[in-house]
Amino acid sequence: MSHFSFPPTAQSALPVAIALIPLYIVARIVYRLTWHPLAIIPGPKLAASTSLYRAYYDVVCDGEWSEHLHVLHERYGTVVRVGPNELHFSDPNAYADIYGTGSTFPKDEKMYRCFGSSKSVFGQTDFHQAQKHRAALGPLFSRRATLRLEQEIQKHVDHLISQLLTYQKASKAADLHLALRSVTLDVVTSYCFGSCFNALDYAGFAHPVAISMDATLHLCWLFKHIPILRTLTDNCPQWIGLALMPATKGYYDQANQLGAQIDEILENPQTLTNSEHETMYHYFIEHQGQKHGLPGVKREESQQMTTQEKAQLRLWLLHEGLNLRFAGSETVGNACTLASFYILKDQFVKKRLVDELVGAWPDVDEPMGYEELEKLPYLTAVIKEALRLSWGTVTPMPRVVGPAGGVVAGLSLPPGTTIAMGNTIMHRNPDIFPDPLQFIPERWLRPDSAATLDRYLVAFSKGPRACIGINLAWCELYLILGNMFRKLELTDDGHSSLKDLEFREYFIPLYRGHHLHAYVEKRDQ
């Protein structure tokens, strides 16, 4: 019976190789601390030595990285080395250099691949390829398209109001957090895909898709720091993925549901003619895709696509759809929840907002549209302050300095450096927003500062890679908050506190505490 063994030379070399591993690690750390181009930048020595420093706050501390960044900047200044090859900034001028108009820094692939939507506008790391996708999809989210579909959005807002009023009869408090998440989920799926989950009709507004989104988010930092897990989820059979990581069920459920709709459309693009309005599929498949060099298909050409071409298009549509569903419901829902929290906690803010709405909209039986609501100064101020304190995304969005190097806030950077500045750092800057943790809508009404503050409101990011759905988001914010506080008398159930707004950072804030609940009554005319 034969057996395998290493040759004598290999046997003698193996212990040497093993012994050299610690030496290599030590040499690598010494280089990073001493001779690396970023060695002159202040920051924790452990962060400069290993990316495990960041992984500790992401995974072990359960999403504490964005809060830790505030501590680091207080200790080390406006530029901190937060990784072996990564810098984080707190200088407001740095934000424009990294993300603003004219910036072409590509996204950091190590970060963005963890979300599983690398083919989407959001997930594309290459700047120029992302611009092609954006050009194809952009018209769906233009202000003109949003205004054209305003009644579709209003339909869901009206349903939100009617569903909340059922709690008046039941004499119990409604979960406003889940209600607002449900309406934004219904809006974005109806707007983008021509069908929705009817999440507002679900008991307690706890629709499984909304719940599974939060559950799936907990995996993103594991996928980032252990990339093989992301690869397994994307490429292995579903049953294996579920066996290894049961928490991926929400991701698979969403992908399967959306994938079935895509398969139906690709099999028979004629079904698009039955849609009540144009959707993501119309723009990608028929209108803009091929125009911008993307893998599109016209109705009469669907049967001519090869299996490989159809698979490529399916993956592209799936990634874009998953991203739109998530980004279009989570961030707007959070902003509406936070606005409602502060309005219900501050009777002065509530009275001023309601007085403005009643004065401008005396008869609620007559609809008041988006363009009329956005002219109301105090409602606008409340929305902007809610966006500021709901952050948009709380995870700093990293970019990579190109081969020619770059300059950020006056600092020359070597090629390949990862750079970022988080929204929480900008929105909590006391030099821009005095008393930054206080909800003060009046700060947006001061004529000497309002225009300046707009420059530093970055909830939707800035520049060429800003949120593609910004027009839809603003329309939702005005219609939801305007209708809700004009038509309903909402009263906090007494169990919410500022502590409930403490969050775990998983790209968006996942609040740790009690969901905002309110008693609901119909407001008198």
- DSSP string for residues in 15-52: HHHHHHHHHHHHHHHHHHHHTSTTTTS-S-HHHHH-TH
pLDDT digits (tens, 9 = 90+) for 134-185: 888 888 999 999 999 999 999 999 999 999 999 987 789 999 999 999 999 9
Torsion sign, CA atoms 139, 141, 142, 148: positive
Q: Which residues contact 442 (CB under 8 A, 6 or more apart)?
A: 381
Burial call 283-317: b when 16+ CB within 10 Å, e when fewer: bbbbbbbbebebbbbeeeebeeeeeeebeebbbbb
pLDDT digits (tens, 9 = 90+) for 128-144: 888 888 888 888 999 99
pLDDT digits (tens, 9 = 90+) for 24-44: 788 888 999 999 999 999 999
Q: In what order do the strands lie in the sheet with 86-89?
A: 79-83, 86-89, 418-420, 399-400
Residue 17: per-residue pLDDT: 67
Helix axes 470-487, 377-390, angle to 10 degrees: 120
User: Could you give phi then psi for residue 84, rounded to 5 degrees?
Assistant: -55, -35
- List C-alpha distances in Å: 109 to 100, 115, 123, 286, 508: 20, 11, 9, 30, 19
Contact (Cβ atoms closer than 8 angstroms) between residue 224 and residue 114: yes
The CA distance from 420 to 85, in Å, is: 12
Q: Compare 255 and 201 and report the one with higher pLDDT.
A: 201
User: Among 173-177, 339-343, 371-375, 462-466, where is mean pLDDT lowest?
Assistant: 462-466
Of the candidates 111, 92, 100, 87, the residue with the CA atom closest to the CA atom of residue 419: 87
Tokens at residue 287, please?
A: 């209108």
AA identity, residue 182:
S
Average pLDDT over residues 225-238: 86
Name the DSSP class of 290: G
**70-79, 131-140, 313-322, 516-525: range with highest mean pLDDT:** 70-79
Task: Please tell me the pTM assigned to this model.
Answer: 0.91
Contact (Cβ atoms closer than 8 angstroms) between residue 440 and residue 385: yes
Average pLDDT over residues 463-472: 92
- List C-alpha distances in Å: 138 to 23, 131, 288, 467: 52, 10, 9, 10
